[in-house]
Structure formats: C-alpha cells, structure tokens
Amino acid sequence: MRNPIILLVLSGSLLAGCTPFLEDLNANLKSVNANLKNVNAGLRGNTGMPSTTVAGIDAGACDPAAFQAGFKDQYVVDWNSEVGRKEALFRLQRQQHPEDTAARQNYALYRGKLLSGEGVGDKATAYGLKFDNNGHIQNDCQARSYQQGKTAGGTAAVTNFKALAAQEI
C-alpha cells in the first residue's frame, strides 16, 4: 500500500516540473500552426493546388520557414511532373481518338491543374548546406528542415495526385 502512494507523490512532483516545458511547447505549436496557415494559404493561391493540402511541420524540423520552403518547392515539382505527364498522355489520346469519351474526360480532369513554378527552387540555395572556412556546417538546422520539408511535400503531392488519378474514367 505504501509503494503506490509514494509513486503517486513522485509522479505528481515530476509532472509539476514539466509544466513550464509543456507551456513552452504549447506556445511553439501555436506559432507553428499560424505559420502553417500562411504557407497553406500561399499554396492554395496557385492554380490547381488541391485545397486539402496541409503542410504539417515535422517534429524534427527546427526551422519552420525552411521546412515550408522545402515543402512548397517539392510539392510543386512533383505535382507538376505527375499532372503534366497525365495531361500530355490524355491530350495525345484525345487527339488520336476524338471519339474516345474517356480520354476526353480524363484530359479535362488534368487540364489546368499545373501549379505556377514561380519562385520554386529559389530557396534551395538559401537553405542548402553552408560551410565555414574550417569545413564545419554553419546552417545545419535550416538545411535539415528544408530537406524534411521537401520529403513531406513530395509525399503530399503523391497522395493528392493519387486522389486525382482515382477520378479517371
């Protein structure tokens, strides 16, 4: 009986010590959420961006701006690659077989869905690895966050593309 009471007392005192940490974490998460709303609004401003795209910052990303830049860059590249390939395929099928209603409807599904590539890749230089004169990395946090954003952006683009492709006839 005595051991559970001691554990409860110790647990309570340990959790009480975490309160400042949890409050800081909550404030940081609110800040990240505000940043995500901005990047999502910017992404939806491009033609063809699915409105369901949400860029969630990875837990290991220490620079939200670098993460968001990487996300946007990779999303646009991967989305345009996949959509452009399908659009060209169905355009060709439609031209070769004008009577094919599936080709016509599938072409209409992809036409106009390419995203603006304006500014894409501009941040790659800014967030790429930079070394000092001794060969030490100067911007590890930014470079890692940018790469994590690129990974997340590529994954989101493929997921959204698959949802679009599922609408083909």
pLDDT score, position 57: 82
Q: How many CB atoms within 10 Å of residue 94?
A: 20
Residue 166 CA to residue 162 CA, distance in Å, equals 6
Query: For 100, which DSSP code?
Result: -
Contact call for residues 113 and 164 (beta carbons, < 8 A): yes
Among candidates 11, 52, 57, which has minimal Cα distance to 157?
52
Q: What is the pLDDT of residue 46?
A: 47
Q: Tell me: pLDDT of 107 over 60.
A: yes
**Prediction pTM value:** 0.68
> pLDDT tens digits for 10-61?
445 544 555 554 465 455 445 444 544 544 455 544 445 554 455 678 778 9
Distances (CA, A) of 1 to 8, 11, 15, 119: 11, 16, 22, 66
**Residues linked to residue 137 through DSSP beta bridges, in sequence order:** 131
User: Which is higher by pLDDT, 151 or 44?
Assistant: 151
- Nearest-angstrom CA–CA distance, 116 and 111: 14
Which residues, 6+ apart, have CB-to-CB distance to 104 below 8 Å?
94, 98
How many CB atoms lie under 10 A from the CB of residue 83? 23
Give me the residue spans of the domains in the chain. Answer: 2-165
